[in-house]
Amino acid sequence: MNQIIPLFYGLSTTPLELLSFVLAIVTVACNIRQIHWGWLFAILSSGLYALVFRDAKLYGDMGLQFVFIAVSCWGWWQWLKGDLGTHAEITSGELVFPQLRPSRLTPSEMTWSIGFWLVSFIALYFFLSRFTDTDVPMADGFLTAGSLLGQILISRKKLENWWVWIVVDVLYVGLYLYKGLHLTAFLYAIFVLMAVAGARAWSREILAREGQR
């Protein structure tokens, strides 16, 4: 799975990176359309990308994939079970929660999110610079922390997850080009466009719902 596959303009990839690439594209496409099966593809893609990042010595990203798998299981359950933070109704003798719908962060949630990103970045930078041989501990730590925040926010269908992903994905393009992961860099360039599309789609749904009140 590590043999080199030439692409174009001197770029190359491996079968492992290519398969991870395809699964990641399917994941984001499903997320934009709020199809819960996207979480299954997210789990598979994360497992494969852990191997890709291990070979590239991006240990923060490698470890993040295992967190992604855990958060994806939680997110899948959230999307299937509905909004547990609202009042439930009894239907046909069963306790049913309203469907989880896209929403905006409250001011307190926004503060928490920024603080989470900052604290996670500091902790990851310290760990990566002290205990691994990565040559990009600051970039790896910052983007790993941002990716974790984005994953948590999308699990709760928060609109701001897309803005986090836009920032993270733009920076990841440069990092992956530097590390020679050309196909993954191209993937994250696509992710930027898909994140913009996701933000627009979810914003329209939120505005339409607010207009009905």
Is residue 7 pLDDT above 90, yes or no? Answer: no
Quick: pLDDT tens for 163-197: 999 999 999 999 989 888 887 888 899 999 999 99
If pLDDT is split at 50, 70 and 90, which confidence band does 95 have? very low
Instruction: Judge residue 207's burial from the number of C-beta atoms within 10 Å of its C-beta, 0-12 exposed, 13-18 middle, 19 or more buried.
Output: exposed
Instruction: Select the highest-mean-pLDDT range: 17-31, 60-74, 76-90, 156-170.
Output: 156-170
Average pLDDT, the chain: 85
DSSP letter, residue 8? S
Where in the chain are the domains? 5-83+106-211
What is the rounded CA–CA span in Å between residue 179 and residue 53? 10
- Among residues of the chain, what percentage have pLDDT more than 70? 85
Quick: pLDDT tens for 120-162: 999 999 998 998 888 899 998 999 899 999 989 998 899 999 9
Query: What is the reported pLDDT for 149?
Result: 95
pTM of the model: 0.78
Query: What is the reported pLDDT for 92?
Result: 43
Is residue 34 pLDDT above 60, yes or no? Answer: yes
DSSP letter, residue 101? -
Quick: pLDDT tens for 11-24: 666 788 888 888 98
